[in-house]
Amino acid sequence: MEILRTNNLTKTYRSKNAVSNLNMCINKGDIYGFIGKNGAGKTTTIKMIVGLSKPSSGSFTLFGDSSVNRGRRKIGTVIEAPAFMPNLTARQNMLIQWKLLNNKNKAIIDEMLKLVGLGEVGKKKVKNFSLGMKQRLGIAMTLMGNPEFLVLDEPTNGLDPQGIVEIRELLLKLNREQNLTILISSHILSELARLATRVGIIHDGVLLEEFQIEELNKRCKSRLQLVLSDVEKAAEVLKEQLNIKDFNIINESTIEIYDDTVDSGIINSTLAKNDIVVNSISHAHADLEEYFLNVIRGGKS
């Protein structure tokens, strides 16, 4: 089932497109990693989806319904810093949210606090919480609305490593145990690689790529990296004598070969016979961060 599908979604500010003809798809059960540098259009896209900003053109559906207001009732959202009453406890803040939602089930307060790991904070005031605890409380407050789709904008921004791990583990738990579909935007790519099942890369308001995380290994080619005394001559030898064409000159001393079938020993001996000194040969593999940088530069892994 499609949870979200956008159709040429566009937002224009002062004749400049902050988001341009964006077509993205999130399916039920996805943890969708929305990747982009600051200012790439992630928050603008999210604000249009949750109703905080009106699209300039294009459209989208939620839960297969073009009446997005119905779909928004099934969304839980945390954008930027969650809002709390700092002098109150976590439970007191949850109680306020419970009343605003007119929820009949008061037991949900303690259930959600326990779910996000805040069941034992007692009378500690929110102003004394760590950033990670505040983020988890924000998510708990959102969960009281029983959402089917959780939308989080940079939830790990500013967190220390422990806080990042806590949020990651919580989101995985919500996805697996509560069957929540999650859209999470971030520029912390290494973290999203551990969390996301599906990835969308946005740059300057344009969605450049969208793929399942399993495809990352296919897209991030393993490669043989050679550090040489003469890259230009080595390039000729690779092409003319070894019939290797899938390679790239990285800099004045480095060549990367993307052919998995090549024999590093034969390459080394052939280059040596041509008076080319091979200083090192090593296998390398791109990660999500490197792949992302190559994509926004218009290059290849």
Q: What is the mean pLDDT of residues 150-162?
A: 90
3.20.20.140, 3.90.1150.10, 3.40.605.10, 3.40.50.300: which CATH number matches 2-216?
A: 3.40.50.300
Give the percent of the chain with pLDDT over 90. Answer: 67
Distance CA 115, CA 38 (A): 31
How do residues 72-83 score in pLDDT, each as one tens digit? 999 999 987 778
Distance CA 266, CA 272 (A): 10
In the 8-state DSSP scheme, what is residue 65? B
- Whole-number pLDDT of residue 190: 81
Query: Across the chain, where does the E strand assignment appear?
Result: 2-13, 16-22, 25-27, 31-35, 57-62, 75-79, 149-153, 181-186, 198-203, 206-212, 222-228, 247-251, 254-257, 278-285
Distance CA 52, CA 45 (A): 10
Which sequence spans correspond to the domains of the chain? 2-216, 221-285
The neighbouring-strand residues paired with 251 are 254
- Whole-number pLDDT of residue 71: 93
Q: What is the mean pLDDT of residues 124-135?
A: 93
pLDDT, mean over the chain: 90
Furthest-apart CA atoms within the chain: distance in Å: 81
How do residues 223-281 score in pLDDT, each as one tens digit? 888 999 999 999 999 999 999 988 888 889 999 898 777 899 999 999 999 999 999 99
How do residues 191-229 score in pLDDT, each as one tens digit? 888 899 999 999 999 999 999 988 876 677 678 889 999
pTM more than 0.85: no
- Whole-number pLDDT of residue 221: 67
How do residues 141-153 score in pLDDT, each as one tens digit? 999 999 999 999 9
**More reliable by pLDDT, 106 or 297:** 106
Q: What is the mean pLDDT of residues 163-186?
A: 93
- Whole-number pLDDT of residue 99: 92
pLDDT-based confidence at 301, cuts 50/70/90? very low
Domain range 221-285, CATH class: alpha beta
